Amino acid sequence: MSRVITLLPGDGIGPEVTGATVRVLEAAGFSADWENHTAGAEAVAKGDEPLPQRVLDSIGRTKVCLKGPVTTPVGKGFRSVNVQLRQALELYANLRPARTIPGLPGRFEDVNLVIVRENTEGLYSGIEHQVIPGVVESLKIITEKASTRVSRFAFEYARANGRKRITAVHKANIMKLSDGLFLECFQKVAEEYPDIEADDRIIDAMCMQLVVRPETFDMLLLENLYGDIVSDLAAGLVGGLGVVPGANIGENEAVFEAVHGSAPDIAGQGVANPLALMRSALLMLHHVGESAIARRLSAAIRMVIVDDKVLTRDLGGKASTHELTEAIVRALDKVGDDPTGQI
């Protein structure tokens, strides 16, 4: 019986990069029935809800979703589909590896970070109101439950993936109660994992250290807003938004998507870099137990960017989305299993 996966192509460059990703997945021998759905600006344009219930029902059934970016209006309009999706399905851990790939432009040679971001609360709880005209309040919610479960996720991930150290990132010197609770939960969970080193940094100092010597860090654990910002910073250390993958993981469901957005400035031009979503799909393959296919696809991607130097415009090359995709499809015939399985 074929595996069913929910596919959300999304907005802007979303359909271009999801099409390219499905193409390489199928060429690599991954067989799935894709349940295609619309959400976000495209759904609204069709008179639908931004996040239709049938999308949540589909992911509830299939348990796995491959998702393109979805446009969110700034300062007005509908609430972020991404935030709604993560909260509705309790996709509490956002996993964002950022690793140097030889051959890609970047100032550092050996960055190998895994960022875990709490995905359901913090300042993204969406609880905002106007107190009086000219004064608004936005609530930051931090709970023991969410802080503990995301900490445990990070330590379990570290153990399963040979990681040695987790640094919790916070501002507990100023937000003593909220960030203080996040840090306390992290430290409590850390006691259960004596084999993994656990330390912490204040967010502003962390940002400085990350742009000076990112290679000294292993895994970072952050609450929602800090994780959002720092993972984009980390993307910039390893080649940019066009290459970094992501996964949103809950108890029962998981949604795999790139860190980048719908890039309206280049949408429809055929120049978007599909590598970030393809590498998110590698995380998906490991998640569904298809690690051999993941390693082969990973090796093909490396061959194309490192040896053949087929790069899209954001990486200083000239290749279109289609040319890069077809180069990866051809490389699949030449590579074997990549024993390192790097993502």
What span, in angstroms and rounded, lies between the C-alpha atoms of 313 and 104? 12
Helix or strand run (H / E) with residue 210:
helix 203-212
Which residue of the set 204, 307, 318, 334 is catalytic? 204
- Establish how many alpha carbons lie within 13 A of residue 6's alpha carbon, considering only the half-sphere containing its beta carbon: 23
What span, in angstroms and rounded, lies between the C-alpha atoms of 181 and 270? 46
Q: Which is nearer to ligand NAI, 232 or 337 (CB)?
A: 232
Q: Which is nearer to ligand NAI, 221 or 266 (CB)?
A: 266
Least Cβ distance, residue 272 to ligand NAI (angstroms): 4
Cα dihedral sign for 157, 161, 165, 171?
A: negative
Q: Which is nearer to ligand NAI, 68 or 214 (CB)?
A: 68
Does the annotation count 171 as an active-site position?
Answer: yes
Interacting residues toward ligand NAI by CB under 6 A: 13, 17, 69-72, 82, 241-242, 257, 260-266, 272-273, 276, 314
Q: Which is nearer to ligand NAI, 9 or 214 (CB)?
A: 9
Least Cβ distance, residue 320 to ligand NAI (angstroms): 11
Which residue of the set 67, 92, 124, 226 is catalytic? 124
SS3 214: helix
Least Cβ distance, residue 198 to ligand NAI (angstroms): 29
Least Cβ distance, residue 10 to ligand NAI (angstroms): 6
Two structure tokens written together for 303: 């061959």
Which residue of the set 171, 179, 226, 314 is catalytic? 171
CA 315 to chain centre: 19
Cα dihedral sign for 225, 176, 178, 133?
A: negative
Does the annotation count 228 as an active-site position?
Answer: yes
CA 218 to chain centre: 17
Beta strand 135-138 pairing with 128-132: antiparallel
Least Cβ distance, residue 338 to ligand NAI (angstroms): 23
Does the annotation count 124 as an active-site position?
Answer: yes
Q: Among 223, 172, 166, which residue's Cα sits nearest to residue 192?
A: 166
Q: Which is nearer to ligand NAI, 214 or 240 (CB)?
A: 240
Contact (CB, 8 A) for 302 and 295: no
Contact (CB, 8 A) for 249 and 91: yes
Instruction: Tell me the residue number closest to ligand NAI, measured at CB.
Output: 261
Catalytic center residues: 124, 171, 204, 228
